[in-house]
């Protein structure tokens, strides 16, 4: 079954209008304003510029792979099995954040009979539902969004756009019981460790992040990249440069419980993750970016940063 069309787009468009290197590095999350950081390798600059154009539909050849209308049924099929039950059990006052929400169709389905049609008999059904926030780089709301938001209590359904997750303060975000990402920032960010720190910072204790990555090294079986003569879309290495699975890296995060689920029926195959926050003292192992090629989603490479030296200076 095909779920992610045109998953791998490798062409670099020559007619780019490049912005300054500093601006691109800030957009990519490789540099935090006000803190000196090593410059990214020069090839990243053009790739970041291309990626920015993809987000705003300025490169027609990438549009087929940039999906913005996934439904709640799509989410239920792609994310770990626990997701739908957790969403159905969301109580009034509890919140769901969907990163890379596009048109927000999955959230609209949550407030419609579409949710009940997806639930099994053993899943809890609530008449009074929680609150939901769609997060997107661009505003893709439709008339159906406006109609749904209007009939709900004020603030129960919100659409945040124009900024990435890292550009919101903790006070602006608040806390969420559920955070989802179906080929959103989790698949696109150039700073994966920063993304996870911010996701987990926004989760309340006991809450879960549900995410998915396509065409990665699987944790439960040997596999090769889906596309011939290509790398995995997201590749990780340990500090020694040896291949490492995303699942193994997630399990190194402190204060979380992680499950990883392979879904081979999708093309390319996907790996789905549930990262449940069990305490506040979250620590995320740092990853250094080694590779980035624009696409829908981009090719990315990361290497686990060596731990800080604990050796004492000679007296």
Binned at pLDDT 50, 70 and 90, residue 12 comes out as very low
**130 occurs within a structural domain:** yes
More confident residue, 95 or 40: 95
Binned at pLDDT 50, 70 and 90, residue 315 comes out as low
Q: What is the mean pLDDT of the chain?
A: 84
Distance CA 280, CA 155 (A): 27
Overall number of domains in the chain: 1
Q: Percentage of residues in the chain with pLDDT exceeding 90?
A: 66
pLDDT at 170 over 90: yes
Report the range of poorest mean pLDDT among 8-22, 153-167, 202-216: 8-22
Closest CA to 89 of 129, 118, 55: 129
pTM of the model: 0.83
Distance CA 79, CA 293 (A): 25
Distance CA 304, CA 29 (A): 17
More confident residue, 1 or 94: 94
Task: Considering only CA atoms, give the Rg of the chain.
Answer: 19
**Residue 93: left (phi > 0), alpha (psi -120 to 50), or beta?**
left
Q: What is the pLDDT of residue 62?
A: 57
**103 occurs within a structural domain:** yes
**50 occurs within a structural domain:** no
Binned at pLDDT 50, 70 and 90, residue 51 comes out as confident
**17 occurs within a structural domain:** no
pLDDT at 198 over 90: yes
Q: How far apart are the first and last CA of the chain?
A: 64
**288 occurs within a structural domain:** yes
CATH number of the domain residue 182 falls in: 3.40.50.150
Q: What is the pLDDT of residue 228?
A: 87
**175 occurs within a structural domain:** yes
**4 occurs within a structural domain:** no
Closest CA to 91 of 42, 36, 131: 131
Report the range of poorest mean pLDDT among 102-106, 240-244, 265-269, 310-314: 310-314
Cis preceding linkage at 186, omega within 30: no
**14 occurs within a structural domain:** no
Between the ranges 14-23, 34-43, 60-69, 209-218, where is the mean pLDDT highest?
Answer: 209-218
Residues spanned by the domain of 232: 68-304
Distance CA 253, CA 294 (A): 27
Strand, coil or helix: 23: helix
Q: Percentage of residues in the chain with pLDDT exceeding 70?
A: 81
């Amino acid at each position: 079954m095909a779920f992610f069309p045109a998953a791998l787009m490798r062409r670099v468009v020559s007619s780019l209008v490049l912005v300054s290197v500093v601006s691109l590095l800030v957009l990519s999350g490789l540099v935090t304003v006000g803190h000196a950081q090593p410059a990214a390798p020069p090839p990243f600059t053009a790739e970041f510029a291309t990626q920015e154009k993809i987000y705003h539909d300025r490169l027609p050849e990438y549009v087929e792979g940039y999906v913005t209308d996934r439904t709640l049924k799509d989410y239920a099929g792609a994310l770990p099995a626990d997701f739908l039950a957790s969403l159905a059990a969301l109580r009034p006052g509890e919140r769901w954040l969907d990163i890379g929400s596009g048109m927000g169709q999955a959230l609209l389905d949550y407030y419609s009979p579409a949710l009940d049609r997806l639930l099994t008999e053993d899943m809890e059904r609530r008449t009074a539902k929680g609150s939901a926030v769609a997060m997107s780089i661009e505003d893709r709301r439709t008339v159906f969004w406006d109609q749904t938001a209007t009939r709900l209590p004020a603030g129960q359904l919100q659409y945040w756009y124009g900024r990435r997750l890292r550009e919101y303060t903790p006070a602006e975000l608040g806390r969420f019981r559920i955070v989802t990402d179906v080929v959103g920032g989790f698949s696109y960010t150039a700073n994966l460790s920063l993304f996870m720190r911010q996701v987990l910072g926004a989760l309340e204790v006991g809450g879960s992040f549900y995410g998915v990555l396509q065409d990665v090294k699987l944790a439960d079986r040997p596999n090769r990249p889906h596309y011939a003569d290509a790398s995995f879309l997201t590749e990780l290495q340990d500090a020694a440069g040896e291949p490492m699975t995303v699942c193994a890296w997630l399990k190194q995060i402190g204060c979380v419980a992680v499950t990883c689920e392979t879904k081979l029926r999708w093309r390319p195959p996907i790996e789905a993750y549930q990262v449940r926050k069990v305490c506040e003292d979250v620590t995320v192992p740092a990853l250094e970016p080694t590779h980035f090629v624009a696409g829908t989603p981009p090719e990315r490479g990361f290497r686990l940063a060596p731990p800080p030296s604990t050796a004492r200076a000679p007296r």
